[in-house]
Amino acid sequence: MRNIQENLILLTVQELERRTQATLSVVEEEIIFQLIPQAMNKHFTMQKLANQADTSISAIARLINTLGFSGYAELKLTLNQIYQEIQQSILPSAANASLQQDLHQLYRFSSQQLQHFIHHVDLASLEYLITSLRSAQHIVILATGFSAIIAQSLAYQLQQLGKYCNCVDTIMPDESFQQLLKFHSLVITISKSAQTPVLERRMQDIQRAQLPNIMITTNPKGLLCQYTDKIVTIADYTQRISPDLTSLFQLKMIFFCEFLILALNKS
């Protein structure tokens, strides 16, 4: 159940931006992420928030002003109200509540705000990615681990649009992978850290084949990025809300891929 709170907090940030019509920076969203779980804690002062979010009190004050609140107390109260509203609207309210209905409501609430998941993405990189996907007919999507699940989903959706896609991990023999590249015109690599050693040999093969390789990652300075033609950076909100909190990269990638398909459908 640990991801429930994670998702609720993310949706709270989205709703805050919608209500205030503000577009928050990564630093500002970090502040909000840290504050939401402590919104009703009267002992959680601005100084404690600054320490936990690794920022300054003046930065928090600027954020409060940007959002149009009168002070720290109003910000905390508003965040708690939004969080409670979302929690009540998307979680089952009774033992016999329809799970299908709740899931549909959660999906609809999230999908209405897909823009939230891409507004930190560099526009030039995003345009390059979409243009490349539009023009390419034979595409390789390279990933490993949990990212491979995202890659398989994206490949399937691209196939529904008439593209020929191969989803590849590190299990395929080197010779087979090198032969595969000869019949493709574009490579999309998905790697959260862009540091995975087992992918480096694949990246070198792609470079030797002189195929355009677009990296989707949270770490634009990762080792593997040197082998790519374009980097699309997805902001990662791995916050210190709880010790066992997992990365939101995969969650954001689900919606990011959905956005890509919507964009391609309009072409």
The pLDDT score that the predictor gives to residue 101 is 54
Across residues 10-35, what is the average pLDDT?
A: 86
d(CA 163, CA 167): 12
Residues above pLDDT 90, as percent of the chain: 36
Cα–Cα nearest to 209, from 257, 163, 147, 142: 142
Residue ranges and CATH numbers for the domains of the chain are 2-112 (no CATH), 123-265 (3.40.50.10490)
Q: Which has the higher per-residue pLDDT, 254 or 75?
A: 75
Task: Outline where the chain has alpha helix (H).
Answer: 2-20, 26-35, 46-52, 57-67, 72-90, 99-111, 123-135, 146-160, 174-181, 197-208, 249-265
What is the rounded CA–CA span in Å between residue 16 and residue 200? 40
Structure tokens at 139: 């595409």
Checking DSSP bridges between strand 138-142 and strand 186-190, what pairing results, if any?
parallel
Q: What's the pTM?
A: 0.59
Where residue 119 falls among pLDDT bands split at 50, 70, 90? low
135-161 pLDDT per residue, tens = 999 999 999 888 888 999 999 999 989
Q: What SS3 state is found at 189?
A: strand
